[in-house]
A and B are shown apart, each in its own frame.
Chain A
Amino acid sequence: MNRDEIKDIVLKYVIAEYAEDENDEITFDTPLISGGIVDSFSMVSLKRFLENKYKISIPDEKASPEAFDSVNKITDLVIEFVG
Chain B
Amino acid sequence: MSNIVNYDERVKNFDWSISEKELGYKAGDVINIGWYCSDRICEMGKANKMALLWEGLGGVEKKFTYNDIRLASNTIGTFLRSLGVKNEDRVCLFMDKVPELYIGLIGILKIGAIAQPLFSAFGDESLFVRLDNAETTAIITQKKHLAKIRKILDRMPYLKHIIIVDYDGKYPLREREVAFSLEEATPIEKIDIYPTKAESPSILHYTSGTTGQPKGVKHVHYSLISQYLTTKWVLDNQENDIYWCTADPGWVTGTSYGIIGAFSTGVTQCVLDSGFAAEAWYKFIEKYKVTVWYSAPTAIRSLMKAGDEIIKKYDLSSLRNLASVGEPLNAEAVVWSEKVFGLQFLDSYWQTETGSIMISNYPGMKVKPGSMGKPFPGITATIIDPDTYEPIKEEGKIGLIAIKPGWPSMMRTYWNNEETYKNKFKNGWYLPGDRSTIDKDGYFWFIGRDDDIINTGGHLVSPFEVESALLEHEAVAESAVVSKPDVVNMEVVKAFVTIKAGFTADQDLELNIMNFIRKKLSPLAMPQEIEFIDSLPKTRSGKIMRRILHAKEWGEEIGDTSTLEND
A residues lining the B interface (CB < 8 Å):
17, 20-24, 31-42, 44-45, 48-49, 51-52, 64-66, 69
Contacts and interface: CB of A to CB of B under 8 A. Distances in A.
B507 A48 contact: yes
A55 to B, nearest CB: 10
B275 A45 contact: no
B147 A21 contact: yes
A3 to B, nearest CB: 23
B526 A34 contact: no
Given A20-B145, A21-B144, A35-B57, A42 B523 contact: yes
Interface in B504-526: 507-508, 510-511, 514-515, 518, 523-524, 526
A45 B518 contact: yes
A37 B276 CA distance: 11
Contact of A45 (B96, B273, B277, B515): B515
Given A40-B275, A40-B457, A45-B515, 15 more contacts: A31-B275, A33-B275, A33-B276, A34-B57, A35-B275, A36-B275, A37-B275, A41-B518, A45-B526, A48-B507, A48-B511, A48-B514, A52-B508, A64-B306, A65-B275
B522 to A, nearest CB: 8
B461 to A, nearest CB: 10
A31 B57 contact: yes
Contacts of A41: 456-457, 518, 523-524, 526, 528
Interface string B425-436: 000000000000
A41 B523 CA distance: 6
B553 interface: no
Interface of B: 57, 96, 121, 143-148, 170-171, 273-280, 302, 305-306, 456-457, 488, 507-508, 510-511, 514-515, 518, 523-524, 526, 528
A21 B515 CA distance: 17
Nearest to A66: B277
Contacts of B276: 33-34, 39-40, 65
B95 to A, nearest CB: 12
Contacts of B305: 64
A20 B277 contact: no
Contacts of B507: 48, 51-52
Interface majority SS on B: helix, strand, loop or mixed?
helix
Contact of B526 (A37, A38, A42): A42
B556 to A, nearest CB: 23
B144 A34 contact: no
A51 B393 CA distance: 53
Contact of A39 (B121, B143, B456): B121
Contacts of A38: 275
A66 B146 CA distance: 29
B143 A21 contact: yes
Given A36-B57, A42-B523, A44-B528, A49 B275 contact: no
A35 B523 contact: no
Contacts of B523: 39, 41-42
Given A34-B280, A44-B526, A23 B275 contact: no
B170 A23 contact: yes
A36 to B, nearest CB: 4
Contacts of A24: 144
A35 to B, nearest CB: 5
30 contacts: A20-B145, A20-B148, A23-B143, A24-B144, A32-B275, A33-B275, A33-B276, A34-B57, A34-B274, A34-B275, A34-B276, A34-B277, A36-B96, A36-B275, A38-B275, A39-B121, A39-B276, A40-B275, A40-B488, A41-B457, A41-B523, A41-B526, A41-B528, A42-B523, A48-B511, A64-B306, A65-B275, A65-B276, A65-B302, A66-B279
Nearest to B306: A64
A81 to B, nearest CB: 16
B277 A33 contact: yes
A75 B277 CA distance: 19
A40 B281 CA distance: 15
Contacts of A49: 511
The 5 closest A-B pairs by CB, nearest first: A21-B144, A41-B523, A34-B277, A42-B523, A36-B275
Given A34-B280, A42-B526, A44-B526, A17 B275 contact: no
B444 to A, nearest CB: 29
Contacts of B145: 20-21
